[in-house]
Chains A and B, each alone.
Chain A
Amino acid sequence: MEDFVNAWAYFLNRWEYLLETLLDHFVLVVWATLIVILIGVPLGILISRAKKMQEIVLGTVGVLYTIPILALLGILITIMGIGTRSALLALVIYGLLPVVRNTCVGINQVPEKTKEAALGMGANNLQLLMRVEIPLTFPVIFAGIRTAMVMTFSLATYAVFIGAGGMGRVIMQGIRTYNTGMLLAGIILVVIATVSLDRLIGYVDHRVKKRFSLVE
């Protein structure tokens, strides 16, 4: 109980520093997510069209996903050195799997009959993709992005190990200086932020699905 009191005291004392760090953390996550979307969605669409590439690409992002984060950071340091760039790349690598896989699987699951109806009415390939496949797959793609973003948010605490900022710094400092108040304040803030982020995306997701009449 005393720990929580200490954490609260730390928060009251250093809230400016904490929020600043949280903002850094958030910026890192947003960048990572944006890059993941920009690479992952087109890649997912591409491999849904080229069945042969599908296995290779999904296999590769799957293997990357299973590398332990500390090992991945170690590898990235030797290639790119320490700093935010390496951290960003690590987060992008982890975020790719859910987005690429959901995009590809989602598009594959659009019923043949629906596609045939659109083609039969004279949709060309681009129109089929933009007017039928992507809107119908949107909830699945969005779920992938949501997974990636929430996952990235907690993974980003590791960025501290390679000299990037973020909430990991608060937690590490707390551990190193036996400052349980600082440690707990950092952890609680990350947890609250992660859950809030997930809820926020969930709300946006629901609104979007409602627009496309995919839920009651």
Chain B
Amino acid sequence: MTREVSVELQNVDKIYDTAKVVDGINLTIDKGEVFVLIGPSGCGKTTTLKLINQLIPHTSGTILVNGEDVTKLDAVGLRRSIGYVIQYIGLLPHLTIEENITFVLQLLKRPKKEQHERALELVETVGLPVEYLKRFPRELSGGQQQRVGVARALAGDPQILLMDEPFGAVDPLTREQLQNELLSLQEAIQKTIVFVTHDMQEAFKIGNRVGIMREGKLVALGSPMEIINSSDEFVRNFIGHGALFDALNSIPVKQVLSKDIPTAREGETLTDKTAKNGWENIFLLNDQGVCLGYVPVENLDSTRTISSRNMVPLPRGCSPDLSIKRAVEEMLYNGRAWIPVASEDNVFQGVVTFQSCANLQT
């Protein structure tokens, strides 16, 4: 696969008076990747982001966007060609949602008709009802406003999106939802995204690669798993002891499914003394592959016939895309060491157990 570079920083410094806020950063961001910059407050991650669209001019070094030196480009034109998302307070309060979404198109003086069509298209992309176009930002919830922020950044169809702690101001549940939406949106649009956050879980979940910054320097760079396995002391301290557990937040259960589960149809008889693989339950499926419930081996009578009469209803299951962390939480709540997994059309996929989760590293 050929790597196409989207953004490149070569030895970039930003100096305010005497303080070196960004210190010799070298960074290559590939086309279509989600790159997350993370670090403690004041580490220069937001400044680095703003250097890319030249909201802040750099002191020395070279910044290339699509191979062109940003200092040689018109800064206003550059910013119009790059999507920019900040926390939801960045919506313009005196403009309707439609006017907010089409703001860049207005600046570019595109025809009114095109603006309206684009607004209709984008409001759908981010999953908001069309009626919302007529509303004002303060009439929307934080999560909805944030979706508008994303729609607005996409209006000019930029190749690059800069996102500065975009989900920092919403509640944890909404944040998780927005992250999931961003990930599925990204699958469809394949933009280059540079994402700044201070939330490690968010970084591991969203990022193809993560860069950790400290005092203006880039101290670690790699995929989430590489970062977790880093031996660097600062990195280890920064990501904390729960890092692997946090990373489980971004790995779906489908990767640790135990598929070799004893299943049976109505009326089948159990020939062996026990169900296979040491399971004490047999899962009863119908012809469509939907699991109706399970039959504990001890419930079987002398004919050893598996039937819905001696079946126990299935506990609440989860989707194959649920994170391992959530699945484990679910098991803890239920006091049961396993949880059934079913696809969207209810077809039984298998079961996740503590043991299957532990097999992740191997």
Contacts and interface: CB of A to CB of B under 8 A. Distances in A.
Interface residues of A, number: 20
Contacts of A119: 55, 79
Interface of B: 50, 53, 55, 76-81, 84, 86-87, 89-94, 96, 103-104, 106-107, 136, 138, 152-153, 162
B93 A121 contact: no
Contacts of A207: none
A117 B91 contact: yes
B92 A117 contact: yes
A15 interface: no
A116 interface: yes
A114 B84 CA distance: 12
A56 B318 CA distance: 68
A113 B80 contact: no
Given A119-B55, A136-B93, 5 more contacts: A113-B86, A116-B90, A117-B84, A121-B84, A214-B94
28 contacts: A113-B90, A114-B90, A114-B93, A116-B55, A116-B90, A117-B91, A118-B92, A119-B79, A120-B50, A120-B55, A120-B79, A120-B86, A120-B90, A120-B162, A121-B80, A121-B84, A121-B107, A121-B153, A122-B78, A122-B104, A123-B103, A123-B107, A124-B107, A127-B107, A132-B92, A135-B94, A136-B93, A212-B94
B87 A113 contact: yes
A68 interface: no
B82 to A, nearest CB: 8
Contacts of A66: none
Nearest to B77: A122
A116 B91 CA distance: 11
A124 B108 CA distance: 11
Nearest to A119: B55
A122 B138 contact: no
A132 B90 CA distance: 12
A177 interface: no
Contact of A121 (B79, B96, B138): B79
Contacts of A124: 76, 107
Best-buried of B50, B76, B106, B152 by chain A (most CB within 10 Å) = B76
Nearest to A211: B94
Interface string A127-138: 100011001100
Interface of A, helix, strand, loop or mixed by DSSP: helix
B119 to A, nearest CB: 15
A31 to B, nearest CB: 31
Enumerate the 9 nearest inter-chain pairs by beta-carbon distance, A residue then B residue, closest first. Answer: A122-B80, A117-B90, A120-B84, A122-B79, A213-B136, A212-B94, A135-B94, A124-B76, A121-B104
A48 B182 CA distance: 39
B86 A116 contact: yes
Nearest to A209: B94
Contacts of A111: 89
A127 B55 CA distance: 16
Contacts of B152: 121
A120 B87 CA distance: 13
Contacts of B86: 113, 116-117, 120
A156 B105 CA distance: 48
B51 to A, nearest CB: 12
Contacts of B104: 121-122
A127 B106 CA distance: 10
Contacts of A120: 50, 53, 55, 79, 84, 86, 90, 162
Contact of B103 (A121, A135, A213, A214): A121
Given A120-B55, A122-B80, A213 B92 contact: no
Contacts of A121: 79-80, 84, 103-104, 107, 152-153
B48 to A, nearest CB: 14
Interface string A37-81: 000000000000000000000000000000000000000000000
A117 B93 CA distance: 12
Contact of A213 (B81, B94, B107, B162): B94
Contacts of B50: 120
